Chains A and B, each alone.
Chain A
Amino acid sequence: MARMKFLCDADRCIECNACVTACKNEHEVPWGINRRRVVTINDGKPGERSVSMACMHCTDAPCAAVCPVDCFYTTADAVVLHSKDLCIGCGYCFYACPFGAPQYPKVGNFGSRGKMDKCTYCAGGPEADNSSAEYAKYGANRLAEGKLPICAEMCSTKALLAGDGAMIATIYKERVLKRGYGSGAWGWKVAYKETITV
């Protein structure tokens, strides 16, 4: 089985937000929930770089470790998913996540956030693959259809890579060798405890 990862090549990313709206459109993610977002470092200055970030599907995922109801699980593809049926919206995974991935709908009164939502790597949730119940809670399950995450597939400049970690690392390495520069595999060390050295 593949070890799925994301890699945003910041030297390609132009902050076009295709990844963001593709995700919204694919999964009907409501206003205010941002499974993916694009952050620009050094905005407006030389050296400006944008990075598209979502759940990185960490190795030894912090979110899973702190969840008081233990509702996370990791698939055979190393995708970190959770059950909205079990989530109590406590917010702990958000404190633990190094990438700000978990999102909460504001429901009800103070403190009671709704069920946590985050990037599923377009792999749905615990329900039967591609069932309406799965769609309603987690969005489409592209992985089950043999497709990859829509955010990466639609990335305007092919900055955002998704797929088996070893494969995307190779693509990135080749790019850096060819062009002679690279700002790094953003988030890899923190998420996967490894990085790509070129």
Chain B
Amino acid sequence: RKAEAGPTNLSAPIQLRKNICTHCSVGCTVVAEVQNGVWVGQEPGWDSPINRGTHCAKGASVRELVHGDRRIKYPMKLVNGEWQRITWDQAINEIGDKLGAVRAKSGAYSVFWLGSAKFSNEGAYLYRKLAAFWGTNSVDHQARICHSTTVAGVANTWGYGAQTNSYNDIRNSKTIIIMGGNPAEAHPVSLQHVLTGKEINRANLFVIDPRFTRTAAHSTEYVRIRPGTDIPVMWGMLHHIFKNGWEDKDFLAKRVFGMDEVRKEVEKWTPEEVERVSGVPGEQLKRVAETFAKQKPSTLIWCMGATQKTVGTANVRAYCNLLLATGNVGSAGTGANIFRGHCNVQGATDLGLDVTTLPLYYGLVEGGWRHWSRVWEVEYDWLQARFDEVPAKAGRNARTRKQNMETPGIPTTRWFDAALMPADDVDQRDNIKAMMVFGHGGNTVTRMPDVAKGLEKLDLLVIADPHPTTFAIHGNRKNDTYLLPICTQFECSGSRTASNRSVQWGEKVVEPIFESKDDYEVLYRLAEKLGFADRMFKNIKVEGKRPVPEDVLREINRGGWSTGYCGQSPERLKSHMARQGDFDLVTLRAKDGPNSGDYYGLPWPCWGKPEVKHPGTHILYNTNLNVRDGGGTFRPRFGLEHQGKTLLAEGSFSLGSELTDGYPEFTFGIFKRLGWDSLLTEQELATIQRIGGNNVDAVSWANDLSGGIQRVCLEKGVVPYGNGKARSLAWNLPDPVPVHREPIYSPRPDLVAKYPTLPDARQFRLPNAGASVQKAGIERNIPRDFPIVLTSGRLVEYEGGGEETRSNKWLAELQQDMFVEINPADASAQGIVDGGWVWVEGPDYKAKAKVKALVTERVAKGVAFMPFHFGGWFQGVDERKKYPKGTDPIVLGEPVNGVTTYGYDPVTGMQETKVTLCRIVKAA
């Protein structure tokens, strides 16, 4: 089935179908023109308040995805190094049998389930559910290598790990800092809002980045920093703010806990020390700090420059502290505008494709498991029995099934270590032996030479993706490798959550092309083969073998109280998509029409059952609005007090609240104390009693399946999760107040001595040997032999590992060669010319990449940048022939992760992709 464009045949009927761009998190509406089941053209989606008809290069060419010249056309398997066509039935049978064998031999945890931020919410949810039914928490997705540190850092500060405001709301800002993000390339349509805001408000737009990015080109001031020095820069700014009393004292008193601890750390960061470490002059930083603190509202935008670090979580927490100190959270034009990554990375994160939690942040605690077992209507004990027991190993205690069920799994960044390390080092029954990859590139995780070895060790590798991905060609696998053709989100329907938490429903544009199937059906078939389809799809309608996404969403609604995923019924979402034009560009609120009063896409939290018609929450923690209108407060998640000081808000509450001070989260017990239990209906009471059993008082807003508690909270104008203070001090993290720590491979041994990384420790079932590696590096004199800091990131034309976008001829034409940006001074020292071939050599594995030189002042002397979207070459060798015939992307090139090195954030296992060392030499 091929889709050719042609003249729009005006005599034949044309259907317009609305879906959402499947690339980045902006969530641009795509309007497809369909004739006779063929996608013939693309029109601007004028009505979308997010993109107002516009796109970037990727969105404007998504029709090519469904043209699918280079997609996997039918299931295949690798037999003695040759790709053979097989049927779907054969594929599912063989995969199921092999999974069973691995499970029998090594346990459930020996299978690593890698999911995708490309899934719809429904797909992500089913994948997480499938992993739970399989009996593992080793289920992960791109957020690990993307914003995991944001989620951890931000959630540990004020409650939820998400963008607080929206792209649109930036139009209200007077001062904007973009630090560690290059939205001109990574979130191009967001720049429509940023630049319009800059123009209308004559706003200050600071870009703080080691590279003079395309975003920086549009700033009013550019601040160049040395990669990996975000905390010194933040503390440097706060230093000026505290010294001059520019902080928002009222906000701090009412809504923030523990800023004094931050002050102590900040005092150490004098302008001189900041400049010594980061390279930023004190005067410049003072100006930025003063503007940010005084010309309000101010917002801080960040992305991968902050997160992809061994200090990622700490970075993010430092960023939050700048916002808190200046009172820039919880109102229009302010906030942590965290630009998320893939099209549905927010939703996939929310729905628990994560080694540390069940869907919607219920965690892995027994309460969470019991909540979901009630929603799923499966016995908790049955679920528990699916998990392995872990024997005592290497001095560590044994774990029961229950304990194992409540222990985080192995993250994406480390699965190959779990496959390669001695079994004793891996804190579970056995090594990883099999991997299921749904929608994830193979060139996007660091240390690719080790990944290759890990892949070679596996008994089974399944790649379920529209494209083969570099997983299909990396390493030297000869057998037991399967390719399952999955269709794109344009060939199925479902909802996806944009960066700003708006949930958008995408319509199916055309039927899946070739033999491809959607994720839903493949997951159903797998569950069926594995023997738990009946249980898993107990309350979900299945047509043929395809679960109905609307029904999946209804199940999410039934369980999604904790995050306010309960109000976004498929009907409401579809109505929003149909009437996008009713929503205001800046407030995102519908002025009239059937969705009048709603915020576009019912950004979560959207409290209560759909019938309650909560409008969603455009701006989180916004006390200027009634919670019924999307108002909120900081979420008290960490107890009610710490070291004798209250963690509840003081004298601050959301507009119209019946409680005019801080308050904890609502439980039935508290309802009784307030006398609000009488406001619950009989049915609601019955449900609460059924859930509570002999501890009814503990039933809370988050697990009350009746929605009664949330309904009454809305009536009373109180926020279901409570009204607390944001935490400047997060005592449960390795560095409760962020502390600067040099990258594992730093060019400054002097600073490593003063600011070393955290000591080695075990995390996520594995050792994190960061400190040893850092020390060994200095001893090996790496800064001398590899003097250039290597950072990596995005090009507007390609996405992620790039398999989809490098197969798109409209995009591939625009970037035909992998390259490294190198400063003219470094280039001329090596006799390197613009456009010439060079080797970029890494400090480990004798790693090297052959790429073209792009000589530019965009990077400072001593810094080099490479895009990470290339693959198909490895260490100088073109591996095109290893792709199944006809599926090789148009453009191939060296993956930067063939050169990147060791380094993991202690809180989330985030990899270090933004700072390592290299040397660059001329290639023949």
Contact = CB atoms under 8 A, between A and B. Distances in A.
Direct contact of A and B (CB under 8 A): yes
Contacts of A112: none
Contacts of A85: none
B535 to A, nearest CB: 44
Contacts of B796: 15-17
B214 A18 contact: no
B33 to A, nearest CB: 11
Given A11-B218, A44-B212, A153-B44, A18 B199 contact: no
A178 interface: yes
A156 interface: yes
A154 B195 contact: no
Contacts of A130: 7-8, 10
A113 to B, nearest CB: 19
Interface string A160-179: 00000000000000010011
B192 A156 contact: yes
Given A31-B813, A157-B195, A25 B61 contact: yes
A59 interface: no
A24 B61 contact: yes
Contact of A158 (B192, B202, B222): B192
Contacts of A140: 5, 7-8, 41
Interface stretch (A45-53, A66-74, A90-98, A188-196): A45-53
Contacts of B811: 21
Nearest to B813: A31
Interface residues of B, number: 51
B436 interface: no
Interface stretch (B52-60, B285-293, B447-455): B52-60
Contact of B188 (A16, A27, A32, A135): A16
Give the interface centre of A27, A132, A141, A179 by most chain B CB atoms within 10 Å. A179
B371 interface: no
Given A14-B184, A21-B61, A130-B7, A155 B54 contact: yes
A14 B214 contact: yes
A77 interface: no
A12 B4 CA distance: 33
Contact of A178 (B7, B55, B185, B200): B200
B807 to A, nearest CB: 13
A26 B44 contact: no
Interface in B33-53: 41-42, 44, 51-53
Contact of A157 (B4, B54, B63): B54
A28 interface: yes
Contacts of A32: 813
B188 A18 contact: yes
Give the interface centre of A24, A28, A135 by most chain B CB atoms within 10 Å. A24
A178 B199 contact: yes
A56 B52 CA distance: 25
Contacts of B7: 130-132, 134-135, 140-141
A156 B61 contact: no
Contact of B53 (A15, A26, A153, A180): A153
A22 to B, nearest CB: 4
Contacts of B42: 22, 25-26
Contacts of B198: 179
B6 interface: yes
Interface in B54-75: 54-61, 63-64
A94 B867 CA distance: 34
B814 interface: yes
A16 to B, nearest CB: 4
Given A130-B8, A130-B10, A178-B199, A46 B212 contact: yes
Contacts of B195: 11-12, 157
Contacts of A179: 198-200, 202
B53 A154 contact: yes
B856 A44 contact: yes
Interface in B640-696: none
B254 interface: no
Given A16-B184, A175-B199, A156 B56 contact: yes
A128 to B, nearest CB: 10
B902 interface: no
A135 B41 CA distance: 13
Contacts of A17: 56-57, 796-797, 814
A143 to B, nearest CB: 13
Contacts of B361: none
A180 B199 CA distance: 8
A134 B8 CA distance: 11
B857 A45 contact: yes
A31 B809 contact: yes
Give the interface centre of A14, A130, A132 by most chain B CB atoms within 10 Å. A14
Contacts of B56: 16-18, 156
B814 A16 contact: no
A145 B218 contact: no
A61 interface: no
A15 B217 CA distance: 11
Contacts of B189: 156-157
Nearest to A11: B218
Contacts of A18: 54-57, 59-60, 188
A77 to B, nearest CB: 19
A39 to B, nearest CB: 13
A145 to B, nearest CB: 7
Contacts of A45: 212, 857-858
Contacts of B638: none
B191 interface: yes
Given A24-B810, A153-B44, A132 B856 contact: no
A43 B858 contact: yes
Nearest to B212: A44
Nearest to A134: B7
A89 B530 CA distance: 63
A20 interface: yes
Interface in A130-150: 130-132, 134-135, 140-141, 145, 150
Interface string A1-20: 00000000001101111111
A19 B222 CA distance: 27
A22 B199 contact: no
Nearest to B10: A130
A130 B10 CA distance: 8
Nearest to A30: B809
A180 to B, nearest CB: 7
Interface string B790-808: 0000001100000000000
A104 to B, nearest CB: 16
Interface string B840-868: 00000000000000001111000000000
A15 B186 CA distance: 12
Contacts of B856: 43-44
A48 B192 contact: no
Interface string A119-132: 00000000000111
B811 to A, nearest CB: 6
B191 to A, nearest CB: 5
Contact of A44 (B60, B185, B192, B857): B857
Nearest to A34: B813
19 contacts: A14-B185, A16-B188, A19-B60, A21-B57, A21-B810, A21-B811, A22-B55, A25-B5, A25-B42, A25-B60, A44-B858, A46-B217, A132-B7, A140-B8, A145-B10, A154-B60, A156-B191, A175-B199, A179-B199
Interface of B: 4-8, 10, 41-42, 44, 51-61, 63-64, 184-185, 188-189, 191-192, 195, 198-200, 202, 212, 214-215, 217-218, 222, 796-797, 809-811, 813-814, 821, 856-859
Among all A-B residue pairs, the 8 with the closest Cβ atoms: A44-B858, A17-B57, A179-B199, A135-B7, A44-B856, A22-B60, A16-B188, A48-B217
Given A11-B195, A25-B63, A140-B41, 20 more contacts: A16-B188, A17-B797, A18-B60, A20-B810, A20-B814, A21-B61, A21-B814, A22-B55, A24-B813, A26-B42, A27-B5, A44-B856, A131-B7, A140-B8, A145-B10, A154-B53, A154-B54, A158-B192, A175-B199, A178-B200
